[in-house]
Structure 1
Amino acid sequence: MAEHTPIDLPQNPRLARNIVHFARALRRAGVPVGTGRVVDAIRAVQAAGFTDRMDFYWTLHACFVARPEHRVIFAQIFRLFWRDPQFLEHMMSMMLPAVRGVAEERTAQAAEKRAAQALLGDQLPALPETDDQPPAEQIEIDATLTLSAEEKLKTLDFEQMSVDEIATAKRMIARLSLPVKPLQSRCLTPATTGARLDRRAVLRTAMRRGGDLHSLPKAKPRLRWPNLVVLCDISGSMSQYSRMVLHFLHAVANEKGRDWARVHAFTFGTRLTNITRHLDTRDVDAALAAAGAQAQDWEGGTRIADCLHAFNHDWSRRVMGQGAVVLLITDGLDRATDHDLGHEMQRLHLSARRLIWLNPLLRWQGFAPKAAGIRQMLPHVDSFRAGHSIQSLEDLAAVISSRDDSGDKARLMALL
């Protein structure tokens, strides 16, 4: 018979009240938990029992978790609330890094900061004072030249943000833009000055006036704007980054007087999904909710080669005209598939005027192209840049029109 692991319940032994408090913590962390789910959870625990920790975990999981992106938050809050003392100590020290040294042992994992904030709240416990400890001296600090909260938030990793920080980051992203320089087409447009003659206008004028010309019409190349095509990885390892990038993409698509002729967006995990039409919705929350409902592979596996093959075969000729710029947002960690990833990347590169790869793994200083998928993809991109923070998106906006920018590609190619 399987050995049952007993559960150490919180100090208050009333289980129903503890489940209600646990549900409130989930709600504060961003998981939509209503009264009906709380009642169902209490009844489910009463029916299933709570002598085994894993049975209790999955019983509450079935009642409270309805979307894949909420699994990580649920797991972290479950560990914190239902008594993992070491985890609780780490969360306390992470929120008070100057007090204890536990926070330096490792960085916060996905949703840990949100889980700690949901349970501990904004009021952090004070340090115990001893009788021998002298009163703290009040020191006034001139913070005139220090960084503002938004400036500090620019360099923070999307995965490490709390609920409030994510809301602030979304508002900052909504103010960003992605300017691009226009391209000169072969078509001509009339001009008052210039060294180029408008031959057709010259012939038309000569025919109307019997060959008598009082002036020579001039012309200049007509300017046109390229398309922006975004391929965004929504697998489990890229979920939080993809959501922030899609917020940025929505802001670009709905910017007044935008420079791009058309913005096309595709998500991929285990399959390719076109979410372009959802970007036309002015409300960003409604737009991303509709896109998430259409893309059924959120936080699933990763089949980059198969999805790129589907794009090259079905969509490339439709959206890649007029010198399109392609943004590829993925970590490059591909599973074994039926198609050659290097070949599909080469086809994508040849179809685009410029192919830019945003990879959140570049946030690590010691990043090296060791994964097979990254080694196959890297030679076929024009620029390889980080995509893990607001600052990285601002850096992208500054160089997206620069043909000479290659990001970290040259350094990483030397390591291949």
Structure 2
Amino acid sequence: MPADRRAGLLPGVDRAALAVALADRLRRRGVPVGFTATEDFVRGLEVSPPDSVSDLYWTARITFVRRHTELEAFDAVFAAVFGGVVTALDPNARRRRVPEPGGDDAFAPVPAPSAEVEGGGGLPWVTLPPVTAEAETAFTAQAVPERLPSDVEGLADVPFEQLDERAAEVLGEWLRAAVAAWPTRRSRRTATGPRGRRVSVRATAERSRRTGWEPFHLVRERPVDKPRRVVMLCDVSQSMQAQAAAYLHMMRALALVAGAEVFAFATSLTRLTPALTHRSAAVAVEQATEKVADRFGGTRIAANVHALLASHHGAKLRGAIVIIGSDGWDSDDPESLAAGMARLRRRAHRVIWMNPRASAPGFEPTVAGMAAALPYCDRLLPADTFRSLRQVIDEVSRIR
């Protein structure tokens, strides 16, 4: 049998509607009632159906009231809602009168003045100082809360050029949280553990010293996984001016979480890893912007790829995931870019190219630089919004 039919005081009453209406009145009187308290009140009515207004009062009070200062407002609202219907709900209230407290009974319950009805029978709860204003009795329709997107969801699809610095910082932290699931690779280091498949000879021999050099306990070891290295190159030329700041936030997220090596290039190559690892996102972007002296100028992708391969940072490309963010416009010869990308592909584990133009309808990589580099790329992904940058990170996270 349903719980509302078992209830003696509230037969056929929708418990959820009652809880929501009462919670709304309490909020309008200044009592902070949350969704958890409302749910607890509904469950309390279901577990222990009230047989009297007193039971209903205490069920509501222990679920809705959290502070002693909220009792006055709660008593006023409860009395205004249920004070006039005691007789109709509880016929025995006409015949039962709360005994008057004696002079020596300091802890006797005092009936609330606003809850007294015909025949006497008030509700036995202790009332704080008298209420100066009555609770609102007019019932207003309950408004369903409108579901609004969060700051990140509302800005993730906005083009880069329409975002301010604060929005870019928020979305940058969003990217930083996404890098937590970065792919790993097996290293040459080992660690002892019960799940290891190989026997650690050194650890087993060390433990056998306790048993007269008899190896009674075999210590096992397993290889240790570490995050796969990532190297990112960002184009900061004139054609990439709108995307440069957003790409800096992505490089900062990779440098902080995945230990990436990040570079910016236009006509020359600039390493930005020390600048972008600053704790403050605004300071990191400012330092990186000041360090790149040739930003918003020409583009020499091929020359910068060869410069990275020839530098002492070129060894970090071995087995790494290389991410290049550029639209493919290059003033160097396409043959030179193809040769550099071929060498880069032989060293790297994966090569991913982010192109902000790739999301345009009917896009085709017909630019000479993009067409020369595409055969040596594992994936070509769009990167015109922060959501697309998040998809790039998700794509890399699935690499095993």
CA RMSD of aligned residues (A): 2.6
| CA shift digits 1:79-129 (9 cap, x unpaired) | xxxxxxxxxxxxxxxxxxxxxxxxxxxxxxxxxxxxxxxxxxxxxxxxxxx
Q: Does 1:167 align with 2:169?
A: no
Q: Does 1:363 align with 2:362?
A: no
Please give the alpha-carbon distance, in whole angstroms, between the structure 1 residues aligned to 2:304 and 2:320: 19
Summarize the alignment of residues 168-183 of structure 1 with structure 2, pairs less than 5 Å apart. 168-177=167-176, 178-179=179-180, 180-183=182-185
Q: Does 1:277 align with 2:277?
A: no
Please give the alpha-carbon distance, in whole angstroms, between the structure 1 residues aligned to 2:281 and 2:272: 13
**2:216 aligned to which of 210, 214, 217:** 214
Aligned to 2:240: 238
Q: Percent identity?
A: 29
**1:326 aligned to which of 322, 327, 334:** 322
SS at match of 2:358: helix
For residue 148 of structure 1, report the CA deviation from its aligned partner: 5.8
Unaligned runs of 5+ in 1: 1-140, 405-416
Summarize the alignment of residues 84-95 of structure 1 with structure 2, pairs less than 5 Å apart. none
Normalising by structure 2, we get a TM-score of 0.58
Asked whether the 8 Å contact 1:359–1:386 carries over to 2, the reply is: yes
Q: Does 1:264 align with 2:261?
A: yes
Kindly tell me: are residues 241 and 338 of structure 1, through their superposed partners in 2, closer, same or farther at Cα, counting changes over 3 Å? Answer: closer
| CA shift digits 1:131-164 (9 cap, x unpaired) | xxxxxxxxxx9994575664342122213x154x
Asked whether the 8 Å contact 1:316–1:351 carries over to 2, the reply is: no
| CA shift digits 1:274-316 (9 cap, x unpaired) | 1211123222222222222221111101110011010111144
Kindly tell me: are residues 356 and 267 of structure 1, through their superposed partners in 2, closer, same or farther at Cα, counting changes over 3 Å? Answer: same
| CA shift digits 1:28-80 (9 cap, x unpaired) | xxxxxxxxxxxxxxxxxxxxxxxxxxxxxxxxxxxxxxxxxxxxxxxxxxxxx
Summarize the alignment of residues 88-103 of structure 1 with structure 2, pairs less than 5 Å apart. none
**1:296 aligned to which of 293, 297, 300:** 293
Aligned to 2:309: 312
Give, as a single letter, the amino acid of the residue that structure 2 aligns with 1:398.
D
Kindly tell me: are residues 148 and 200 of structure 1, through their superposed partners in 2, closer, same or farther at Cα, counting changes over 3 Å? Answer: closer
Aligned to 2:226: 224
Unaligned runs of 5+ in 2: 1-142
Q: Does 1:353 align with 2:349?
A: yes
Choose 1 or 2 for highest CA Rg: 2
Give, as a single letter, the amino acid of the residue that structure 2 aligns with 1:225.
P
Asked whether the 8 Å contact 2:337–2:372 carries over to 1, the reply is: yes
Kindly tell me: are residues 311 and 288 of structure 1, through their superposed partners in 2, closer, same or farther at Cα, counting changes over 3 Å? Answer: same
Q: Does 1:380 align with 2:373?
A: no
SS at match of 2:199: coil
Kindly tell me: are residues 193 and 274 of structure 1, through their superposed partners in 2, closer, same or farther at Cα, counting changes over 3 Å? Answer: closer
Give, as a single letter, the amino acid of the residue that structure 1 aligns with 2:316.
V
For residue 204 of structure 1, report the CA deviation from its aligned partner: 4.7
SS at match of 2:357: helix
Asked whether the 8 Å contact 1:309–1:339 carries over to 2, the reply is: no
Aligned to 1:401: 397
Asked whether the 8 Å contact 1:306–1:338 carries over to 2, the reply is: no
**2:157 aligned to which of 136, 155, 158:** 155
Asked whether the 8 Å contact 1:183–1:225 carries over to 2, the reply is: yes
Greater alpha carbon shift after TM alignment, 341-350 vs 186-195: 186-195
Summarize the alignment of residues 47-58 of structure 1 with structure 2, pairs less than 5 Å apart. none
For residue 199 of structure 1, report the CA deviation from its aligned partner: 3.0
Please give the alpha-carbon distance, in whole angstroms, between the structure 2 residues aligned to 1:393 and 1:186: 32
Please give the alpha-carbon distance, in whole angstroms, between the structure 2 residues aligned to 1:211 and 1:149: 64
Please give the alpha-carbon distance, in whole angstroms, between the structure 1 residues aligned to 2:219 and 2:151: 57
SS at match of 2:232: strand
